[in-house]
Amino acid sequence: MKALSLLGFAQAAGQVVSGYNGCLAVLRQGRCHLVVLAGDAGPATREKFLKAAKQTPIVTIKTKDELGNAIGKSSRAVLCVQEKKIAQAIIDAVNTTLMEAEGAHGKIVET
**pLDDT tens column, 9-29:** 999 999 999 999 999 999 999
**pLDDT tens column, 47-104:** 999 999 989 999 999 899 999 999 999 999 999 999 999 999 999 998 886 666 555 4
Query: What does pTM read for this prediction?
Result: 0.85
Task: Check if the beta carbon of residue 80 is closer than 8 Å to that of residue 14.
Answer: no
What's the confidence (pLDDT) of residue 1? 76
Distance CA 82, CA 8 (A): 13
- Return the domain boundaries, the chain: 2-102
Evaluated on CA atoms 13, 15, 20, 26, the torsion sign reads positive
What's the confidence (pLDDT) of residue 103? 52
Task: Check if the beta carbon of residue 22 is closer than 8 Å to that of residue 82.
Answer: no
- Cross-strand bridge partners of residue 38: 61
Q: Which CATH number is correct for 2-102, 1.10.645.10, 3.30.1330.30, 3.50.50.60, 3.40.1440.60?
A: 3.30.1330.30
What's the confidence (pLDDT) of residue 96? 80
Distance CA 104, CA 20 (A): 37
